[in-house]
Structure 1
Amino acid sequence: MMKVQKGDVIRLHYTGKVKETGEIFDTTFEDVAKEAGIYSEKGIYGPVPIAVGAGHVLGGLDEQLEGLEVGEKYEIIVPPEKGFGKRDPKLIKTFTLGQFRRQGIYPFPGMPVEIETESGRKLKGKVMTVSGGRVRVDFNHPYAGKHLVYEVEIVEKIEDPIEKVKALIELRMPMVDTEKVIIEVGEKDVTVDFGQLLNEVDKNTLVLGEILLESDLKFIGYEEVTFKPSVDELLKPPEEEKEVVELEEEVSEPLVEKAEEKEETEEKPEEVKEEPKAEKVEEKPEEVTEEKTEEPKETKETEEAEKEKKPKRKTTRKSTKGRKTRRTTTKKTTSKKKAKAAEEAGEKKEE
């Protein structure tokens, strides 16, 4: 028979019980979970894939899987210190009844409660007693201090390298369809491509899964682990935003040139647009006042013609008046001289 060693990838069936009470608290069998009242609709039942020694199950159980044979059933007892720990008296706290009632909580023995500490840490506990206005709460794990009994069966030991990787993906990301994952393995290196699942699986789920899966793959012997897309790529902003930024950087200079050309072209139409507007404004009054404006045009022309003629007459009159005055003054001066000469001649005759 084939024995299990540390680092092997196996499929394991188990049922965990509390030795003191026989209470079933965990199982990989769906029917057993329903009978025990611990069935969950979100739970995944069936043989669970694990890497032996990697801490995928409770430590006390994990270390006892080594050396077991495939296909055999075993009963493994886990002591408290290797299970959920010993009970710690410091984790039993006392509160006043008023502290609960102010939050609308009316505690009773066995009631599960959750308390948030000053540092923001949330602690889950169970009410032990309620008396005298005091409430005692135990924050130890429900199975702390208990001996555990596991009934186990190693269903399969996986030998194929590709199937090992798929089994670990199933463990860490149970909702992922491993048939859509492209896996390439070498002697010491492995590449896992989740590219086909980007539109099906939440990126945060892939990030957490890759982080956990990397440690698992290195545990089973791979020195170099590569994921596509990588954790860094998954955490980056969407690719569409990057492309937009890159395009803006690439065409920044042409855009400036185009902007300048647009400004020039925008200025030209403005000049052209102004001319037709002025023509339209002039055309409208002409259409409305065609008959009225015909007569004023003629009168304006005649007035302008008369104005041109009048100045010419004024200049000629002024010139003639000037000449006449000059002539009259000369005539007056000559006649006076003649009169004086005649008077002088008459006086001579008388003498």
Structure 2
Amino acid sequence: MLERSELCEQVTSGCRVLADVTIKLKDGSVADSTKVHGKPSWLILGDGSFSEAFESNLIGAKIDDKLTFELGPADAFGESVPDNIHFMDISQFPQDVKLEKGAIVSFEQPNGNQLPGIIREILGTSVKVDFNHPLAGETVIFELEIKQIAA
């Protein structure tokens, strides 16, 4: 828990915000939620992690506030970039990996980091892999419940 002197009354630019976050698609289905994991997330405003549109919806919020707002692709997870979609030969995948449409496969990059890709299509020996964020190109609805605000 944070010291009382570090807590803020309301969200301002540069704050850290502890919140339960649920992300829904336009059809109302839940794409992700911190409530599933039982652990709220720290959101750091002003560090470039979130769009200005996302952050502007939080400014002025107080502890226990419940916010709901919709953002288009450009302000949420970005547009789908065609250059991030690749066709790979099926032989490039380990034999123990189950290849099916919608499956997320992790690829090791030269620097050792993992990059997830979504199998979009399998055509013979060619596998279409999408390296865009899974929610790229989607308009999404954010539901946040503010738990804590810190300087």
Match of 1:25 among 28, 32, 56: 32
TM-score (norm 2): 0.70
The reply on whether 1:108 has 2:100 as its aligned counterpart is yes
State the Cα deviation string for residues 181-216 of structure 1 (Å, max 9, x = none).
xxxxxxxxxxxxxxxxxxxxxxxxxxxxxxxxxxxx
Larger Rg, first or second structure (1 or 2): 1
2: CA distance, partners of 1:153 / 1:18: 18
Aligned length: 141
Higher strand share: 2
Residue equivalent to 1:161: none
C-alpha distance in structure 2 between counterparts of 1:20 and 1:134, whole Å: 32
Partner of 1:153 in structure 2? 145
Partner of 2:89: 96
Aligned to 2:70: 77
Match of 2:23 in 1: 16
Identical-residue share of aligned pairs (%)? 25
Quick one: which of 126, 136, 139 aligns to 1:134? Answer: 126
2:150 maps to 1:143: no
User: Which residue number corresponds to residue 5 of structure 1?
Assistant: 12
TM-score in terms of structure 1 length: 0.34
Shift, 1:73, TM fit: 2.2
Q: 1:61 to 1:88 in 2, by over 3 A?
A: same
Which structure has more helix as a fraction of its residues?
1
Equivalent-residue separation in structure 2 for 1:8 and 1:106 (angstroms): 43
Shift of 1:147: 1.5
RMSD between aligned residues:
3.1
Bigger relative contact order (CA 8 A; separation at least 6): 2
Distance (Å, rounded) in 1 between the aligned partners of 2:81 and 2:33 = 23
In structure 2, relative to structure 1, the CA distance for the partners of 1:156 and 1:96 (3 Å cut) is closer
2:22/2:30 contact within 8 Å kept: no
Q: Which among 93, 111, 123 is matched to residue 115 of structure 2? A: 123
Question: What secondary structure, in the 3-state scheme, does the structure 2 residue paired with 1:130 have?
Answer: strand
Please give the alpha-carbon distance, in whole angstroms, between the structure 2 residues aligned to 1:3 and 1:119. 40
* Whole-angstrom CA distance in 1 between matches of 2:110 and 2:43: 38
Supply the distance in 2 between the matched residues of 1:151 and 1:9 (Cα, whole angstroms). 17
Say which is worse superposed, 67-76 or 135-144, in terms of deviation.
Answer: 67-76
Residue by residue, what CA displacement relative to the aligned partner does 1:9-68 show, whole Å, maximum 9, x if unpaired?
A: 5543332222345223122x3xxx1xxxxx4xxxx625x5555x2449744533321123
